Amino acid sequence: MSARTGRHFLQIPGPTNLPDRILRAIDQPTIDHRGPDFAALAKSVIAGAKRLFRTKGALAVFPSSGTGAWEAALTNTLSPGDTVLAFETGQFAALWRVMAARLGLQVELVATDWRHPVEAAEVEARLAADKAHAIKAVMVVHNETSTGVASDVAAIRRAIDRARHPALYLVDAISSLGAMELRHDDWGIDVTIAGAQKGLMLPPGLGFNAISDKALAASRTARLPRAYWDWQPMIAAAETGFFPFTPATNLLFGLKEAVAMLEEEGLDNVAARHDRLAEATRRAVAAWGLEPLCAVAKAHSSALTAVLLPAGHDADAFRRVVLERFDMSLGAGLGKVAGKVFRIGHLGWFNELMLMATLAGVEMGLAAAGVPHRKGGVGAAMDYLAGNAGAVQAQAAAG
């Protein structure tokens, strides 16, 4: 590897770029997690994190990756042999339903072509047909990070209500929290699952479950085996500002800073920033004559864009060229779209000029790798962002 100058561009959709403020917040001596300073920190961090989920309910924070938080959501609410309704919108949804099956749940699976979101009408039809209420939970990935397709979480809640079905609503918001609008309480989510290393701008290592009262009640009778992931000791300890085992103390220092940063910007402004950068990215993709994997205009993710390469061109070979020539990491295609798509992460600690550099790296990489495309993607994105400047100022003034 030759010597590099300047910053590496980490434009994968998680882990995302670490803000200097968060690096500094984490760079402290670890404190006694049973001491008084820790209790004060934990109470304020948990309260702040709840505001990001927009919940007043319980929040469990595990030292784990997002996958652990998936397992916590399932094992705390369900019993062996229970049926869950799952939608394979992409690789993460696929991994989650495989986990559900491994844990001994019956998975009623709705397949998609990985280019479409979960359809609320499909949810309603499946639940309405389940007269015996065999389905105990509906599992939805809000922002499918492998495809760049987002599902309408609020519309799915309304569909569950129209079907008058008591199933719990479990939502993977691992790559949407901190990037796209998410409202745990207002949207009637029973468990919102999140992780540290995407929109929250932290290093990997925290897994979250925001928990509704209904999910908490279900956990009292749920019989799937759980030990490490058990909510009850976590929630009991949280009252006092402590954890039942050693927490990821320094990541909690970072989380406190992340909450401060997101709240200084304002959660609505954070979502609007991601929307704007995503739209600029799509304009670049269109100008290149390439196609996003997401086939539904209203389902485009604001956190990342997955781009199809023309048939016969290997997306991983293209990504290698971009990494070697320009020191930028782009996201790989996962699962059944491996080698067919690359993903541009545009979430987290990210701004317009970082996006322009990212898109320039992609456009130069397309040329260097010999991928057929038209020039002008970077220009199209610039035109959009520059044209939008007035709107951005108005928004800032409105605060």
Ligand X SMILES: *Cc1c(COP(=O)(O)O)cnc(C)c1O
CB of residue 359 to ligand X, shortest distance in Å: 22
232 scored as a contact of ligand X (CB under 6 A): no
Q: Name the β-bridge partners of 6.
A: none
Nearer to ligand X, 335 or 376 (CB): 335
* Beta strand 207-211 pairing with 58-62: antiparallel
d(CA 73, CA 219): 10
65 scored as a contact of ligand X (CB under 6 A): yes
CB of residue 379 to ligand X, shortest distance in Å: 31
Determine how many CB atoms are found less than 10 A away from the CB of residue 23: 12
d(CA 292, CA 294): 5
| Segment interacting with ligand X, rule: CB under 6 A, options 73-81, 128-136, 169-177, 355-363 | 169-177
Among residue numbers 6 through 45, which ones bind ligand X (CB under 6 A)?
A: 14
269 scored as a contact of ligand X (CB under 6 A): no
- Pure H helices in 266-327: 267-288, 315-326
Beta strands in the chain (DSSP E): 9-11, 58-62, 83-88, 106-111, 135-141, 143-144, 149-150, 168-172, 191-195, 207-211, 291-292, 304-308, 328-332, 341-345
Size of residue set near ligand X by CB under 6 A: 13
The residue sitting closest to ligand X, measured at its beta carbon, is: 66
Nearer to ligand X, 283 or 343 (CB): 343
3-class DSSP assignment, residue 386: helix
Determine how many CB atoms are found less than 10 A away from the CB of residue 32: 9
67 scored as a contact of ligand X (CB under 6 A): yes
CB of residue 381 to ligand X, shortest distance in Å: 24
- As a whole number of Å, the CA-based R_g of the chain is 21
Nearer to ligand X, 57 or 195 (CB): 195
Nearer to ligand X, 124 or 172 (CB): 172
92 scored as a contact of ligand X (CB under 6 A): yes
174 scored as a contact of ligand X (CB under 6 A): yes
CB of residue 88 to ligand X, shortest distance in Å: 13
Give the binding site for ligand X (CB under 6 A).
14, 65-67, 92, 141, 145, 172, 174-175, 195, 198, 204
